[in-house]
Amino acid sequence: MSQAAIPTDPPPQADASASHLDSFSYDDAICRMFMSAMFIWGLVAFLVGMILAIQLPFPYIPGTDIPTNFNLEWFTFGRLRPLHTNAAIFAFAGNAIFAGVYYSTQRLCKTRMWSDLFSRLHFWGWQLVIVAAAVTLPAGITQSKEYAELEWPVDLLIAVVWLGFFGVNFLMTLLNRRERHMYVALWFYIATIVTVTVLHVFNNLVIPVFGPGLVKSYPVYAGVQDAFMQWWYGHNAVAFFLTTPFLGMMYYFLPKAAERPVFSYRLSIVHFWSLVFIYIWAGPHHLQYTALPDWAASLGMVFSLMLWMPSWGGMINFLLTLRGAWQKVASDPILKFFVVAITFYGMATFEGPMLSIKSVNALSHYTDWTIAHVHAGALGWNGFLAFGMMYFLLPRLFQAKLFSPKLANLHFWLATVGILLYIIPIYVAGITQGLMWRAMTETGQLAYPDFVETVIAIKPMWMLRILGGGCYMAGALIGGVNLYKTWAARPKTYDVPVIQAAPLSKLEGVPEAKPEPTIDGVADIAKTLNVWATGWWHRKWERLPIRFTVWVVIAVVVASLFEIIPTFLIRSNVPQIESVKPYTALELYGRDIYVAEGCYNCHSQMIRPILAEVERYGEYSKPGEFIYDRPFQWGSRRIGPDLARVGLTRPQAFWHAEHFEEPDRIVPGSIMPPYPWLFDKEIDWRSLEKRMRAINLLHGGEAYTEEQLTNAEAHAREQAERIAAQIETDGGRGGLSEKQVVALIAYLQRMGTDLNAPPEAPAEEPALDDATASLHTTPAEGGE
């Protein structure tokens, strides 16, 4: 594209043979709305990211005793981190998707979006979801499942907006198109819409708890199964929210910007279907070495490896599309952004399969390596594509010359330097900390037994990251200048070109005919394959949107069920442990605080069967320990140590009370922020019974007796007073028995203790054999 003039794409050629032509125009106003929203929310996501990046190495403002969470609960890492990820994914990338999809779909279908009203409902509904997220997440209203943190009322809104407004509008547009066949970009959009719907609905099935001031729910899945469903969702959110729609957009905007034909239609077909089918299986690679059954983890690994080439199919198709256009790349900021986006896509989709390999994962999991990987993907692939697309769209949507190609180039270079300054230190941090965690001495002991040592070692890398993030954000701000100035130069009224095209029903077309085999003298099967490989049947599907959509649904649902059904039905996946009992009223309430505060953002609850890990944290976690965990809290990053056995290693209430007040006083060098509000906020005693009844419902009435339910408050008060007294006796604050901190401590004291808990005093006949067996669960017996 030349920067010298306002680009005007040639209007689609009217088919001369058609007798009747429709006149219509494209809805570019909706694209302007989504693109502006993308930019604004992008800045919010970057800003929150910067705050988090600063809070990690600087828990206190240097030289002062003012904590960087300012003692504010809503400004604390555990609550802000979900806001950052949700803003980046659903607000920044989400609005980018909608801008790109609305712009390209209308042109690829030669039709206006089906309903302007639905387009607006979609836009405003989605912005409402984002605002709801920005309010609820810092308020601690969360389901705590990564990228599915939003609570059930927001989830319902998302479902309506995504499927009801966006999905219906898109599919109706497909049905009303004036182009006989659907281009590959549209295939990817179809896959996005149907799969995100399926993922969203099934990962968010919950039982709400109703009460005054209470927005809270418990998932219908518990423990291992909840973890499985979450990472089936989490991995495929990356696949179908951050990959497929962006691939579709690249298939539209790259050949448009480069003015080159797409390298290979056949590659598009093969990599589209293999990607859609294989991606769905790979979720369990997020749970290598956890209490997830081995077979599922192994499946997750091999499907991730098989995913390498389907992912790279897109990269190759894009890079080879640029053949003959590389001189353009050197001068055109749009193509520069696209080339870097493709490069990061290729890098991230190589790294993904590599990280899924068990022995690599053993090192990388819970470290910053994961953080570097996702930022290479989100900032590199999604961000660069979104900004490249923005520069493509700016002059077209605002009908004015791009304010400054020079500033666009500066944006590009700042973003490129920024991303490198972000990911390289964070890769170093991840690998360093991973190696320190596992390092053993000659005497068979931990080389770095104090967790804090491994945090202090990577702090300099965290400081460099602030610089990298700052550069990337500065680039985006310069993009904002370009956006604003180009917008300011827009015409008084936008020109709305009238497009003419023949309606689909009037288009002359030859139905796809089965070609003859081109090989001779071979078996019939070879001939059939030869004909099949021409892809003629696919050409037929491309003019049948409903059939195409149904096949996509079949591909993702069948693949999902192959893993989901055995996970839920095979009893040996989660061997029962007799000594594991439901949480008490107070512990359950404390657990809900743990969830609300977002503790899982920094602490895992999953000790893997790895030597150094068992040395550091204690006996590795068993599937049966988590059957009352709704939601599961295994975590994905250890910014602080694992807590799965914290009830055994830190049983002292006084320790926790002191620690929550000022963590680095108790653990010198700790970067955990203080939690003073836990000492002020009171326990909502009346909600206890409601919470327990919801849990009981999910356990078929087996979790609690009627006595435990009706006397929940009395039992909880008794336990709270006991803990408060312990704190006071040991020299801590008095008068805490009504405060939330006591409930949270009750939960922490319980955590991980059930596995080897002595059996309760037998009521009638002691089942001695079982009891002794569970007492001596050694690693040798604790496997599958």
Partner 1 sequence: MSDPIPPTPTDDDALPKGAEMLTGHNYDGIQEYDNPTPAWWTWIFIGSVVFAVVYLFFVLSAGDELSPHGQFRRASIANTEKKFGELGDLEPDAATIIAYMDNEQWMAFAGNVFKTNCIACHGANGEGGTGPNLTDDAYIHVASIEDIAAVIRDGAANGAMPPHETRLHPNEIVLVASYVAAMRGQNRPGNPPKGEDIPPWETP
Q: Which of residues 176-235 bind partner 1 (CB under 8 A)?
A: 179, 181, 183
Query: Nearest CA to 166 among 110, 241, 234?
Result: 241
**608 sits near partner 1 (criterion: CB under 8 A):** yes
- By CB under 8 A, name the one of 25, 124, 449, 565 that touches partner 1: 449
Q: Which residues in 356-436 belong to E strands, given as ranges? A: none
Segment 362 to 421, residues that bind partner 1, using CB under 8 A: none
Q: Which of 50, 163, 267, 463 binds partner 1 (CB under 8 A)?
A: 267
Q: Which of residues 246-265 bind partner 1 (CB under 8 A)?
A: 252, 255-256, 261-265
d(CA 582, CA 629): 9
| 489/404 Cα distance (integer angstroms) | 12
Question: Of 332-340, 461-469, 477-485, 608-616, which segment contacts partner 1 by CB under 8 A?
Answer: 608-616
Q: 163 vs 775, which CB is nearer to partner 1?
A: 775
Which range touches partner 1 (CB under 8 A), out of 377-385, 438-446, 473-481, 581-589? Answer: 438-446
Q: Which of 323, 406, 490, 686 binds partner 1 (CB under 8 A)?
A: 323
Residues 640 and 663: their CA atoms lie apart, in Å, by: 11
From the CB of 516, what's the least distance to partner 1, in Å? 10
Q: Give the C-alpha separation, 436 to 454, whole Å.
A: 6
Comparing CB distances to partner 1, the nearer of 264 and 343 is 264
Minimum distance of partner 1 from residue 320's CB (angstroms): 8
Please tell me whether residue 784 binds partner 1 under the rule CB under 8 A: yes
694-753 residues in contact with partner 1 (CB under 8 A) are 726, 730
Say if residues 45 and 88 touch (Cβ distance below 8 Å).
yes
Q: What does the alpha-carbon distance between residue 355 and residue 344 come to, in Å, rounded to a whole number?
A: 16
Q: Is 535 left (phi over 0), alpha (psi -120 to 50) or beta?
A: left
> Is the four-CA dihedral 88, 152, 590, 237 of positive or negative sign?
negative
Cβ 98 to partner 1, closest distance in Å? 19
Nearest to 347 by CA among 335, 337, 355: 355
Please say whether the beta carbons of 479 and 393 come within 8 A: no
Position 445 contacts partner 1 (CB under 8 A): yes
- Determine, following the binding rule CB under 8 A, whether residue 170 of this chain makes contact with partner 1: no
Binding marks (x or -) toward partner 1, 78..117, rule CB under 8 A? --------------------------x--xx-x-------
In angstroms, the CA 731 to CA 13 distance is 84
Cβ pair 653, 678 in contact under 8 A: no
Q: Which of 13, 493 has the CB closer to partner 1?
A: 13
Measured CA to CA, the distance from residue 321 to residue 184 in angstroms comes to 14
The residue type of 584 is T
Residue reference for tokens 């061997």: 575
Residue 444 touching partner 1 (CB under 8 A) = yes
Q: Does 28 bind partner 1 (CB under 8 A)?
A: no
Q: With binding defined as CB under 8 A, does residue 563 bind partner 1? A: no
* β-bridge partners, 210: 215
Helix (H) or strand (E) holding 207: strand 206-211
Q: Does 62 bind partner 1 (CB under 8 A)?
A: no
d(CA 62, CA 463): 13
* Binding status of residue 498 toward partner 1 by CB under 8 A: no
Helix axes 687-698, 585-596, angle to 10 degrees: 90
Interface with partner 1 includes 614 (CB under 8 A)? yes
Considering only CA atoms, which of 233, 172, 223 is closest in space to residue 202?
233
Specify burial of residue 513 (Cβ count, 10 A radius: 0-12, 13-18, 19+): exposed
Query: CB-wise, 274 or 432, nearer to partner 1?
Result: 274
CB of 180 to partner 1, least distance (A): 8
CA-based angle 511:513:518, to the nearest 5? 155
Q: Which one, 160 or 447, has the nearer CB to partner 1?
A: 447
Q: What residues from 627 to 656 belong to the interface with partner 1 (CB under 8 A)?
A: 648-655
Q: Which stretch binds partner 1 (CB under 8 A): 28-36, 146-154, 291-299, 372-380?
A: 291-299
The region of 239-247, 309-317, 463-471, 703-711 touching partner 1 under the rule CB under 8 A is 309-317
Please pick, from the candidates 63, 212, 213, 509, the single residue that binds partner 1 as defined by CB under 8 A.
Answer: 509
From 21, 360, 463, 610, residue interacting with partner 1 (rule: CB under 8 A): 610
Q: Could you say which of 138, 314, 377, 618 contacts partner 1 (CB under 8 A)?
A: 618
Q: Contact 659/666 with Cβ under 8 angstroms?
A: yes
Q: Which is nearer to partner 1, 615 or 684 (CB)?
A: 615
Using CB under 8 A, which of 114, 279, 303, 392 touches partner 1? 303
Nearer to partner 1 by Cβ, of 115 and 264: the residue is 264
- Tell me whether residue 9 or residue 116 sits nearer to partner 1 (CB atom): 9
570: left (phi over 0), alpha (psi -120 to 50) or beta: beta
In whole angstroms, the minimum distance from the beta carbon of 74 to partner 1 comes to 29
Q: How far is the CB of 311 from partner 1 (least distance, A)?
A: 11
Contact between 508 and partner 1 per CB under 8 A: yes
Instruction: Please report how close the Cβ of residue 726 comes to partner 1 at its closest, in angstroms.
Output: 7
The stretch near partner 1 (CB under 8 A) out of 231-239, 385-393, 424-432, 512-520 is: 512-520
Q: Rule CB under 8 A: which of 522-541 touch partner 1?
A: 534-536, 539
Query: Using only C-alpha atoms, what is the Rg of the chain?
Result: 28
State the Cα torsion 37-40-45-47 to the nearest 10°: -170
Q: Which of 120, 358, 506, 527 binds partner 1 (CB under 8 A)?
A: 358
Cα–Cα distance measured from residue 314 to residue 349, given in angstroms and rounded to the nearest whole number: 10
Tokens of 178: 């004036």
Of 536, 543, 529, 540, nearest to 515 (Cα)? 536
Q: Count CB neighbours of 493 within 10 A.
A: 7
Task: Select from 268, 349, 416, 486 the one that contacts partner 1 (CB under 8 A).
Answer: 268
Q: Which is nearer to partner 1, 115 or 753 (CB)?
A: 753
Q: Which residue, 234 or 618, is less far from partner 1 as judged by CB?
A: 618
| Helices 244-258 + 265-279 axis angle, to 10 | 160
